[in-house]
Chain A
Amino acid sequence: MREHIVSTYDDDLNTLKAKLLEMGVLVERQIFQAIEVTKIINLAKAKEIQKSDDVIDSLEVEIREFATITLTKRQPLADDLRKIIISLKISSILERIGDHAANIAGRILHVKKVPENYLTDSIYQLGQLVVKNYSKALSSFDQDSHKIAQVVPTEDVTINSVYETCFREHLHLMMEDREIIGFSTQMLFIAKELERIGDLSKVISKEVIYNLKGKITR
């Protein structure tokens, strides 16, 4: 990165990025843990995930305040301005992803345990794809990589089709066995939360592309 004449300006932009990455990693852990508790139900863990969402929310506020001060102090232009704009946008997206992870944990608190006759791990598989693609989006931001950012929307197409399959599979299961309707419904809600995380990961990658290329792609 070409350095600013005022070195504290670079410090500010680096701090902003570091705060965002800290938030991003925390959100990644939240998604990962939320997916784990869908497989091995752990109510204590689910409660912990819900509680950790507060930390993510407060990080968003912190980033917003820091970005606002940086805008005021530096009156940035061009790539500097884009860096700050995307920090504001991405922090808000991360906050929403955090909410989706907390929602997954909330669903788990409803179901208490996996019924014996529920014999699929398709939600877990969907979750694996989602967390992997989220990590890619975060890496593209970390490394300012257009190449990585471009892969994320493509992967999201796969996620959407796996989600559709998951949905149909659960409908089928519920029709076959009324006993698992309650559990499967919660699982479908979880699948929807995961699908949304997939969409939001795609939005992050597009913000990264905007930062690098200066063009908004949708």
Chain B
Amino acid sequence: MVMSNSIKIKSKKISVFYGDKKALDSINLEIPEKKVTSLIGPSGCGKSTFLRCLNRMNDTIDICRIEGKILIDEKNIYEKGLDPVLLRARIGMVFQKPNPFPKSIFDNVAYGPKIHGIVNSEDELNDLVKDSLKKAGLYNEVKDRLDEPGTSLSGGQQQRLCIARAIAVSPEVILMDEPCSALDPIATAIIEELIDELAKNFTIVIVTHSMQQAARVSQQTAFFHMGNLIEVGKTEEIFSMPKQVKTQDYITGKIG
């Protein structure tokens, strides 16, 4: 499936094994630049495993073996000699449960730019933290208490803090693994609004269990089932007239 704009990420025959178990089977998927792509599918279908291939987070699991290529801007991220830490500066990640560092709000955002040497002065750092918090739609709520612990914020605010932390290092891609599943509907709406805004500058890949959320926030949707990519297409087509019976059964909650 090719959308009209350029492709940021290409997955070429990606297979993932956990020991003897094949978790993903030869996935070919193209992810368009500065768009939101949703990965949907039942638990254990491989969508989170796929997401974690995109920033080489599966590397940290000993028994995990990966075959195939992930091309970001046509460059294979599994190439030997490529530093995964540098890669992860280009590809930010937001998790299901907000996980701020046990540090102040300011330090949570400042941490990444500091270790990656992105800023040269204290003023620059201050500006970057402020700018990142603004982009994450959190600045006005926390501007008077930047030295308070990140963990003192509400769940929705913590998640936006994690987004601010992710965007502070100027990534090109943001991966989100069920970013709203622990949030109430209002906090979810704020994050979804933010995703719309972020998609102007970043390529976003989001794993979600909410069909409605996928329909609302993404332009492309990919349906995974038992380690296979069953169908990928424009979100509006996947949710109105999917081509595969398996997709239709899943999104409408039927017994397949």
Contacts and interface: CB of A to CB of B under 8 A. Distances in A.
Interface of B: 211-212, 215, 239-242, 248-249, 251-256
A76 B252 contact: yes
A210 to B, nearest CB: 10
What secondary structure prevails in chain A residues at the interface with B? loop
A4 B242 CA distance: 17
Interface in A2-47: 2-6, 9
Contacts of A9: 253
Nearest to A81: B240
Interface size class of A (residues with CB under 8 A): 10 to 19
A77 B252 contact: yes
Contacts, number: 39
Contacts of B239: 77-78
A77 B211 contact: yes
29 contacts: A2-B249, A2-B254, A2-B255, A2-B256, A3-B254, A3-B255, A4-B253, A4-B255, A5-B254, A5-B255, A9-B253, A75-B211, A75-B212, A76-B252, A77-B211, A77-B215, A77-B251, A77-B252, A78-B239, A78-B242, A78-B248, A78-B251, A78-B252, A79-B248, A80-B252, A81-B240, A82-B240, A214-B240, A214-B241
Contacts of A2: 249, 254-256
Contacts of A79: 248, 252
Contacts of B240: 77-78, 81-82, 214
Contacts of A214: 240-241
A76 B240 CA distance: 10
Contacts of B253: 4-6, 9
A152 to B, nearest CB: 22
Contacts of B252: 4, 76-80
A22 to B, nearest CB: 25
Nearest to B254: A2
Contacts of B249: 2
A6 B215 CA distance: 21
A93 to B, nearest CB: 22
Contacts of B211: 75, 77
Contacts of A82: 240
